Amino acid sequence: MKAFSLYEGSYSVDSSKKFIPFDPEKDDKKDRKGSLFIHVHPFLIETSNDLILLDTGLGYKDDKGELVLHKNIKSEGVSPDDVTLVLMSHLHQDHASGMVYEKDEKLQLSFPNAEYIVSRGEWEIAYSGKSTSYKTAVFDILQRSGNLQLVEGSGTINEEIT
């Protein structure tokens, strides 16, 4: 088994839920009062049977229009098309916005060959409307794709993942 951090950057986020790039070497936290400071790190796990993505990050693109997450996966010597499972810890923007991306003016799955595993309880909370931490337009694409598997409680996903 191999694990890779797919660092997407450091950000500050305030009550507006907008993620603003933050460089601890140049930026001063005092200038962003009331903000949380986060480092976005999806992880790629290579097992004998699967290429697993843990969370999908913010879904930002680079200046060439390529999804940063795809670029980071390619830098590890594998293709985003080879991802077979996407395991979502939860569905807040900084963990789930990269589940889909826009290409040719259309939203599509970032990992069309993967099964996306999401907790049913988290899915229901995301759609409850009680928090602005969720982007349900992203989830709508996933729900219509046929690649979504909702799970309840703890248990076994396959012989390698419990």
How would DSSP label each residue in 11-42? EEE-TT--EEE--TTT--GGGSTT-EEEEE--
pLDDT of residue 17: 85
Would strands 85-87 and 115-119 be described as parallel, antiparallel, or unpaired? parallel
Q: Is a pLDDT exceeding 80 seen at residue 27?
A: yes
The average confidence (pLDDT) of the chain is 93
**pLDDT value, residue 113:** 97
Identify the weakest region by mean pLDDT among 54-58, 104-108, 109-113. Answer: 104-108
- Is pLDDT of 108 > 90? yes
Q: Which of 151, 146, 95, 98 is nearest to 121 (CA)?
A: 151
Q: Which amino acid is residue 36, in one-letter code?
A: L
Give 35-67 pLDDT, tens digit per residue. 999 999 999 999 999 999 999 999 999 999 999
> In terms of C-beta density within 10 A (0-12 exposed, 13-18 middle, 19 or more buried), how is residue 83 classed?
buried
- Which pTM was predicted? 0.92
For the segment 69-84, the average pLDDT, to the nearest whole number, is 97
Residue 21, pLDDT above cutoff 80: yes
Position 104 scores a pLDDT of 86
The answer to whether 116 and 99 have CB atoms below 8 angstroms apart is yes
Helical (H) or strand (E) element with 123: helix 120-126
